[in-house]
Chains A and B, each alone.
Chain A
Amino acid sequence: MSFITYLINGISLGSVYALIALGYTMVYGIAKMLNFAHGDVIMVGGFTCYTVCSTMGMHPVVGVLLSVVVCTLLGIVIERVAYKPLRMASSPLAVLITAIGVSYLLQNLALLIFGANAKSFTSVVNMKSLKLADGQITVSGVTIVTIVTCIVIMAALMFFINKTKLGQAMLAVSEDKGAAQLMGINVNATICLTFAIGSALAAIAGVLLCSAYPSLTPYTGSMPGIKAFVAAVFGGIGSVPGAFIGGILLGVIQIFSQAYISSQMADAIVFAVLIVVLLVKPTGLLGKNIQEKV
């Protein structure tokens, strides 16, 4: 029975990874860059919700909404100020290193404002846990909400990308920026929109993550961020369903290795998955192959 509990917990953690991975994969698909600061946007989302709910004592719904707004704006500002000027840079390393700088900046800003001590985050979910199989399996409210949220967002995102004009524009830009521009698509605005959506998802992921693991520090976002990137690569970077599948699988792998192998080795195992995937199938489960033209 514990197997099923682990599985459900894994899927729940995986759902958070999937939400974060969506941000990575969309940004990567469209701007061809690894947004290293994405994980820290999660942390900002967590702290915003914490400030609104715990410090100012407002309703959790307000907290969630505000953290989505803050993160969305943050994503747009980061893109405009730090990444956009480097889009045409001669070295692809330039924008990656800048992203690392932004990540550093966010962490240290949070450190100055909130200090290094962990804040205990009050869960935004007020739902009783569910007992299954004669009480042998307990599924917490947060777990259920996380999984459901992830599925809903995933479905909405697929609809947005495949059925709306803006979503189609995003696909076009990720396919060929030049051609998209010629077809009258505003490339800059589309990239900005992608960052906005990715960051909004990160805010939700942040709130859910902190609800499940209630300790909040300036570094809360960095490890889940990196793992979510692993998930994005696992599923095939640039692919939205890939991020979903990769996230869920990675969450399950992590919880299973914590449970059955060694809790200290869980991170190492997650990273080992990344290495194996990249070496065996660098394009990930659902990714596309790109070759440099000579």
Chain B
Amino acid sequence: MAILEVQNLSISFGGLRAVDDFHVTVEKGALYGLIGPNGAGKTTVFNLLTGVYKPDEGIITLDGKDITGRKTIEINHAGIARTFQNIRLFKELTVLDNVKVGLHNQNSYGTLTGILRLPKYFRVEKQMNEKAAELLKVFDLDQEASMLAANLPYGKQRKLEIARALATNPKLLLLDEPAAGMNPNETQELMDTIHFVREHFDMTILLIEHDMKLVSGICEELTVLNFGRVLCQGKTADVLNNPDVIKAYLGSE
């Protein structure tokens, strides 16, 4: 069953067609890769999927529900969570609190409950702490729980972003260049983590990546974007051997 279906997605910025007739179908539980040369429009696709930009044309369906043109918040509530290419953490909050912000809509109590410290506050906070601790453990961040996010080393910041996204209990996880700036060891570790996340959380993952080792290592299917258009789509091995893809990569980089 398809969890994400996108048809005919397009957007222009001042006459430039940044994404043109983009389409993709991501099956539930898939590990799907979106690749392409710099400036091909990959992040723009993510921004369209998460409501940062409103598409000029096209339909986005998540788990059978039309979410086209919805606001970022509504789309998150509908079940898409993401990470960012340039890391966007809540820097002045602790690592633990970053994840707890992600849990905001899962575990709820009212403003007055919080201010008056009613019993429900302590109960729900305890649940949140437990859940958050569990997530941090998955990403090997439990030792740093009380550190400020800003003080985390780079690789761990990327992990924390994934943990925070997962805390919102999404159906689909979008990762924007998760391995950017990582060394080969860290990348290997990240690949294991992504695999683990998929198995453990029964997650569907769509990711943008430049690191071909990571892409060919974990993605089952790929879409290649070039100049805002879909160049090629299919099983990873087939796509990577496609002469058009090779040409796009070698020709433009």
Give chain A's interface residues, CB within 8 Å of chain B: 294
Instruction: Return chain B residues, CB-CB under 8 Å to A294.
Output: 43, 47, 52, 84
* B40-84 interface bits toward A, Cβ cutoff 8 Å, 1 = contact, 0 = none: 000100010000100000000000000000000000000000001
CB closest residue in chain A, given B50: A294
Query: Which residues of the partner chain A approach B43 to less than 8 Å between Cβ atoms?
Result: 294
4 pairs, CB–CB < 8 Å, chain A vs chain B: A294-B43, A294-B47, A294-B52, A294-B84
Rounded to whole angstroms, the CA-CA distance of A294 and B44 in the bound complex is 9
The residues of B with any CB-CB pair to A shorter than 8 Å are 43, 47, 52, 84
Please measure, in the bound complex, the distance between the C-alpha atom of A294 and the C-alpha atom of B47, giving whole angstroms. 8
Residues of A within 8 A of B52 (CB): 294
Q: Which residue of B lies closest to A293 (CB)?
A: B86
Kindly list the 4 A-B residue pairs having the minimum CB-CB distance in the complex, ordered from nearest: A294-B52, A294-B47, A294-B84, A294-B43
How far apart sit A294 and B18, CA to CA, in the bound complex (Å)? 14
Which residue of A has the minimal Cβ distance to B47? A294
In the assembled complex, the Cα of A294 lies from the Cα of B52 at a distance in Å of: 8
**How far, in Å, is A293 (CB) from chain B's closest CB?**
9
CB proximity of A88 to chain B, nearest CB, Å:
16
Closest A-chain residue to B88, C-beta based? A294
* A-B CB pair tally, cutoff 8 Å: 4
- In the complex formed, the residue of A with least CB distance to B84 is A294
**From B72, which residue of chain A is reached at the shortest CB distance?**
A294
Give the CA-CA distance A289 to B212 in the complex, in Å. 38
Q: Which residue in chain A gives the minimum CB-CB distance to B91?
A: A90
Report the bound CA distance from A294 to B51 in whole Å: 11
How far apart are B251's CB and chain A's nearest CB, in angstroms?
27
A90 closest partner in B (C-beta): B91
The answer for the CA separation of A294 and B43 in the assembled complex, in Å, is: 9
A90 to chain B, nearest CB (A): 9
**CA–CA, A294 to B53, complex, Å?**
10
Nearest-neighbour CB distance to chain B for A92, whole angstroms, equals 15
B176 to chain A: closest residue by CB = A294
Instruction: Report Cα–Cα, A56/B43, bound state, in Å.
Output: 66
Q: In whole angstroms, what is the CA distance A138 to B84 when docked?
A: 65
Q: In chain A, what residue has the closest Cβ to B53?
A: A294
Set of chain A residues within 8 Å of B84, measured between Cβ atoms: 294
Give chain A nearest CB distance to B86 CB in angstroms.
9
Chain A residue contacts of B47, Cβ below 8 A: 294
A273 to B43 CA separation, bound complex (whole angstroms): 39
Residue in chain A with minimal CB distance to B13:
A291
- Complex Cα distance A178/B52, Å? 26
B14 CB to nearest chain A CB (Å): 11
Question: What is the distance, in angstroms, from B47's C-beta to the closest C-beta of chain A?
Answer: 5
State how many angstroms separate the Cβ of A206 from the closest Cβ of chain B.
41
Query: Within the complex, what minimum Cβ distance (angstroms) separates B91 from chain A?
Result: 9
In the complex, what's the smallest C-beta–C-beta distance from B46 to chain A, in angstroms? 9
Complex-state Cα separation, A294 to B83, whole angstroms: 11
Minimum C-beta distance from B83 to chain A (A): 12
CA–CA, A294 to B45, complex, Å?
A: 12
CB distance from B81 to the nearest CB of A (A): 15
- How long is the Cα–Cα vector from A38 to B47 in the complex, in angstroms? 40
A294–B174 alpha-carbon span in the complex (Å): 14
Nearest-CB distance from A291 to chain B (Å)? 10
Q: Provide the bound-state CA to CA distance between A284 and B60, in Å.
A: 35
Q: Complex formed: what's the CA distance from A294 to B84 in Å?
A: 8
Shortest CB-to-CB span from B73 to chain A, Å, is 15
Q: How far is the CB of A288 from chain B (nearest CB, A)?
A: 12
Q: Tell me the bound Cα distance from A294 to B42 in angstroms.
A: 12
Minimum C-beta distance from A91 to chain B (A): 10
Measured between C-beta atoms, what is the minimum distance from A159 to chain B in Å?
A: 30
Distance to closest chain A CB from B178 (angstroms): 16
Q: How far is the CA of A248 from the CA of B84 in the complex (A)?
A: 45
Cβ-closest chain A residue relative to B52? A294
Q: How far is the CB of B52 from chain A (nearest CB, A)?
A: 5
CB distance from A290 to the nearest CB of B (A): 13
CB distance from A228 to the nearest CB of B (A): 32
CB distance from A94 to the nearest CB of B (A): 14
A72 to chain B, nearest CB (A): 39
Bound complex: CA of A100 vs CA of B238, how far in Å?
Answer: 62
